Structure 1
Amino acid sequence: MTADTTILVFGSINMDLVARVETIARPGETVLSPKAESFFGGKGANQAVAAARVAKGTTIDVLMAGAVGNDPFGQSCLDNLARNGVATHLVAVLPEPTGCAFITVDRKGENAITVASGTNMALHAAELTEHAVSPVVLVLQMEVSLEQNLIAARWAKSLGAQIVWNLAPAPTDDQARRIDEIMSVTDVLIVNEHEALVVSGGAGKTGTYGHEDAASFLARTFRLTCVVTAGASGATAFLQDGERIHADAPRIEPLDTTGAGDTFVGVLAAGIAERLPIKAAMERACLAASRTCMALGAQGGMPWREEI
């Protein structure tokens, strides 16, 4: 089947090193784990894999624009993307080490993550203009340079693409000062409850308010769709006209929540590329994110199209 729609994911590629623990270590505390396991990760790569799995068999291509090191982790990450149906010709191989994430997962499935960025912070968007790529949807996150994200967004916007920006991890204080700049090139903003508050504060909202007021403020102020994810409570889209659209998440007993948010983003981006109504796209994304929590690793439980 010939592809006629392209989702381009510009972002991070990591190798995740995961240790399961009884409780996540507090500052100054050491906890023991039976073993460490390696999994493929990076918010960009996770979202690309999630999108590619749900787009399998459709006329949608998923491309990854990122960077890995000239090391065993880098080659493994490239091979993994290809196995999942993600095109990798826009992934640069650089002298810096491949990014790594160090993850601890407790008995309840909650996690704590430290990321060593490596090649992810050496990623340059200027190279995108050298390739004959015209994305319908561009997906961004916050594990690569903000400046490079903005360059990629402006370039894709000039080609008529929809910009889906997952503002995670939450913007730093310096990044929050550029919220207006970020929002000006964003069509669909995806944040969790905490990130919604950080972003709205950076956009000038003051006083005491909750994440719903924050999301509604962002949607109205910047004339975009703001989607807030809330774990087991599902997700809610706040539209610029004031309408709110909610999608429930299935009730599950999670094994590992790593990658659930990225699954939601990738599957929602695929829904946007398929031109699904926002509620249907969010419902499918919530289902996929829940299934991801039933297996170890960010990508291990991501469902294929036929599974959802």
Structure 2
Amino acid sequence: MIVVFGSINMDLVARVPRIARPGETVLSLRADSFFGGKGANQAVAAARMGQGGPGQVAMVGAVGNDPFGAACLKNLEDNGIDVRAVRMTDEPTGCAFITVDDIGENAITVASGANMALRSMDLPDSLLSKASVLVLQMEVSLADNLDAAARARQAGARVIWNFAPVPPAKERSGMADLLEATDVLVVNEHEALSIAEILNIPAGADYLKAATALARDFGPTCIVTAGAQGAYAVSGDGTQVHAPARPIAPVDTTGAGDTFVGVLANRLAEGLEVGPAMERACAAASLSCLTPGAQAGMPERQALERYLAQA
């Protein structure tokens, strides 16, 4: 069982010739809506890899009692995700405002809404066992993430923490505690350097040095996603594993990191070692960049296997 404790959003996406600079207005011909939220994205990516049918992935989150919330819940159910632990609140459903430029890069602003009403008590004990993988991100309260991770560890579950988005430096002590309760930390190059800086770990501009120090000092396997360079995993003893990325012409990179995390969680839950799990996660992330929207391009298992089989 993969249990995702995290955010559920509706994404409003505008295509622009370039990302606006501070104080600049950039025109877009239209805005489109897509299902999103890092938690929901990762749950969908994991569910599409599943072989066990409905209920293999459970979502623990919060949405508003509004049309966006109802639509988000239906979307999760349509993807075979157990939503019994998703709570309806008086806060509005989370909403992300995304601009995507002509080369597929994006800028994102998130209005958290109901996501900040999510509490660790919303995570049922029945979802935590030695067979569970708990997936966390940073779009909900750090304190509730930490409590959820501690409960998961106590139940014998594994914890995957995606350190995105980067929290304020004032959360330093909580981040250190959560690292110690984490089995696998997933960051991109910038996030690896940010968490190292917040925790006063000297790494300069070397994200692998940062990852090595985080793994050595706090214990988790640290995975760094590095775009076209693929992904690197560093264990506590300094051992590195690299998974290459396949070259693509991206249409929209929104959700690529979440695809990576969801597929990684699925393959680790199925018993794969970190290296092969990262290879599949990298390939799935590449495929996700070929379609606009965070979830629209997330591949089904058969599509990913066909892609992996290509030379």
The answer to whether TM tops 0.5 is yes
Counterpart mapping for 1:137-286 below 5 A: 137-206=133-202, 208-286=204-282
List runs of 5+ in structure 2 lacking aligned partners: 305-311
The TM-score with structure 1 as length reference comes to 0.95
| Aligned residue pairs, count | 302
Q: Contact conserved, 2:203 with 2:210, CA < 8 A, in 1?
A: no
Task: Percent identity, please.
Answer: 58
Q: Contact conserved, 1:177 with 1:202, CA < 8 A, in 2?
A: no
Match of 2:72 among 61, 71, 77: 77
Provide the aligned C-alpha RMSD in A: 1.4
Is the partner of 1:178 in helix, strand or coil? helix
How far apart are residue 59 of structure 1 and its match?
9.3
The TM-score with structure 2 as length reference comes to 0.94
Cα pair distance change 1:249/1:60, threshold 3 Å:
farther
Amino acid at match of 1:270: N
Is the partner of 2:149 in helix, strand or coil? helix
1:96 to 2:63 alignment: no
Aligned partners of 2:9, 2:85: CA distance in 1, in Å?
16
Show structure 1 runs of 4+ deviating over 2 A.
56-60, 176-179, 201-204, 206-209
Aligned partners of 2:64, 2:204: CA distance in 1, in Å?
45
Cα pair distance change 1:287/1:90, threshold 3 Å:
same
How far apart are residue 58 of structure 1 and its match?
6.4
Aligned partners of 1:121, 1:45: CA distance in 2, in Å?
15
> Greater shift after overlay, 202-211 or 19-28?
202-211
Is the partner of 1:298 in helix, strand or coil? coil
Amino acid at match of 1:116: A
User: Which whole-Å deviations, capped at 9, do the CAs of 1:208-237 have from their partners, x for residues lacking one?
Assistant: 351010000111111220000011111000
How far apart are residue 173 of structure 1 and its match?
1.1
Q: Contact conserved, 1:171 with 1:198, CA < 8 A, in 2?
A: no
Amino acid at match of 1:132: S
Is the partner of 1:280 in helix, strand or coil? helix
Cα pair distance change 1:34/1:171, threshold 3 Å:
same
Match of 1:133 among 102, 127, 138: 127
User: Which whole-Å deviations, capped at 9, do the CAs of 1:20-46 have from their partners, x for residues lacking one?
Assistant: 000111111111111000000000000
Aligned partners of 2:204, 2:286: CA distance in 1, in Å?
31
How far apart are residue 127 of structure 1 and its match?
2.7
1:47 to 2:42 alignment: yes
User: Which whole-Å deviations, capped at 9, do the CAs of 1:131-150 have from their partners, x for residues lacking one?
Assistant: 52225100000000111111
How far apart are residue 204 of structure 1 and its match?
2.8
Q: Contact conserved, 1:56 with 1:304, CA < 8 A, in 2?
A: no
Match of 2:33 among 27, 38, 56: 38
List runs of 5+ in structure 1 lacking aligned partners: 1-5
How far apart are residue 174 of structure 1 and its match?
1.3
> Greater shift after overlay, 25-34 or 202-211?
202-211
